[in-house]
Structure 1
Amino acid sequence: MAATLRMAIAVLGNAASVSLYAAPTVTFKRVIKKKSTEEFSCIPYSIGLLNCLLYTWYGLPVVSYKWENFPIVTVNGVGILLELSYVQVAMTAIPVLLVFCITALLSTFALHDHRHRKLLVGSIGLVVSVTMYGAPLVVMKKVIKTKSVEFMPLPLSLCSFFASVLWMTYGLLIRDIFVAGPSVIGVPLAILQLVLHCKYWKGRVMEEPNKGDLEKGNLEMGDTEKGNLEKKNMPKS
């Protein structure tokens, strides 16, 4: 019964996390359409990529006991593919890959038992996950300042909430602090995001007019005024 419950929560957690990783596709469609990153930053996605790499490694038999953490491997494996598609700046991805490679090499060759490998990879993964969950704090500050949730998509906040709750539950069931730990921070932050959505959902940041449009408008206005002046000075027949 306990094993069935753990598996059910793991499946739901996988679904919620995949939705969380896929949620930014809406944002990137907007970026592609407008050909501008506007106020969006690639740093949260870089941190997300590192998180997925570390936890995929954590769940593999090299670190964990056999396939005890297989659900973590599946969801973070999908996360790697999605996050890679978001991180399009090579210079941003290099530090992420460097940290992961160093961690993987140390855990493989410097440590020779699963307990110490899990401790190393899990500790680094825990720090990165807490950072990942803390990244929206910057966006939340902007939401409060502008009274608009335009740059904090609701699907992302909802998926973050459900994923955090499910993985915290799963981590507690398997008694793994490195799985449950990040969600202790993730759950209250996700709740705060939802509260901000309820408060500021009607707000919308007014787009600043493009400089070229302003110049064009001024030029057209000047032409109109010139035309009116010439019309006024024309002799009456």
Structure 2
Amino acid sequence: MQVLTALSYTAIVSTIGLFLTGIPVTRRIKKARSSANVSYTPYLAAMISTCLWLKYGILTQDYTLISVNGIGFLLNFYYVVICYSYSKDERAFYYPLLITISAMFGPLLYVKYLAPTYMHAVHAIGYCGCITSTIMFGSPLATLGRVLRTKSTESMVFSLCLMNFIVSVTWALYGYVINDIFVQGPNAVGALLGLVQLLLFVKYPSSGGPGHVYDLAARLV
């Protein structure tokens, strides 16, 4: 029980810490009165993931999942609102926002009205959560081609990769302790992807040299 409690608190603190990295970005947006150079896609993706895991936590009565994903959803919703409010082209939001709403409410409506049993509902949300989490953890690898081509990790954010690795390892251990494959599975994959990303920094150091740590708030754009 002590191990579970320690993992629970660690998971909550580390994950909320990861979500809070959007605060400096929104401050820069407000100061510049423009979100033109900020990518809002990670915040939309985080909204989908936290929404689905919040529902999973409610279904399984896991208060660790409920608390961290409830806070995470509200924070990322706030980031999206700020990005939209200071956007010079609001219409560019419409299509991504439609996809986000569909990805969130599709599974929720299925659980509410179509799932024949409680376990069907849990499994449906669990599988959807696994998919979104895996995509989020692997997102820094989107620049893999550029890294291999330039033999530099300048296009990647070390702090983000490190935090993703820590968070995914913590949640994988938490899932193992509570014997929940839906929590353990995607986070184990996330830990592996995170390790690959960190190894890229060792093999292809940026111009800052080995061990150079990027400022996360300045590079989340």
What is the TM-score normalised by the length of structure 1? 0.72
Query: Shift of the alpha carbon at 1:116?
Result: 1.5
Match of 2:50 in 1: 52
The CA distance in 1 between the partners of 2:42 and 2:140, in whole Å, is 8
1:146–1:30 distance in 2 versus 1, CA, 3 Å: farther
Correspondence 1:12 to 2:10: yes
Number of aligned residue pairs: 196
Match of 2:75 in 1: 82
SS of residue matched to 2:156:
coil
The CA distance in 2 between the partners of 1:5 and 1:12, in whole Å, is 10
Gaps of 5+ in 2: 85-92, 210-221
Correspondence 1:186 to 2:190: yes
Query: Shift of the alpha carbon at 1:101?
Result: 1.5
- Is contact 2:152-2:205 (8 Å) kept? yes
Correspondence 1:155 to 2:159: yes
Identity %: 28
Which whole-Å deviations, capped at 9, do the CAs of 1:209-233 have from their partners, x for residues lacking one? Answer: xxxxxxxxxxxxxxxxxxxxxxxxx
| 2:188 maps to amino acid | V
- Is contact 2:161-2:198 (8 Å) kept? yes
| 2:49 maps to amino acid | N
Gaps of 5+ in 1: 205-237
What is the TM-score normalised by the length of structure 2? 0.77
RMSD value over aligned CA atoms?
A: 2.5
Query: Shift of the alpha carbon at 1:31?
Result: 6.1
Larger of the two Rg values belongs to structure? 1
Correspondence 1:98 to 2:91: no
Mapping 1:1-237, distance limit 5 Å: 3-26=1-24, 37-38=36-37, 41-60=39-58, 63-64=59-60, 67=61, 69-87=62-80, 88-89=83-84, 90-91=93-94, 92-111=96-115, 113-198=117-202, 199-203=204-208
The CA distance in 1 between the partners of 2:145 and 2:29, in whole Å, is 22
Query: Shift of the alpha carbon at 1:201?
Result: 3.3
- Is contact 1:148-1:203 (8 Å) kept? no
The CA distance in 1 between the partners of 2:179 and 2:132, in whole Å, is 20
The CA distance in 1 between the partners of 2:26 and 2:134, in whole Å, is 24
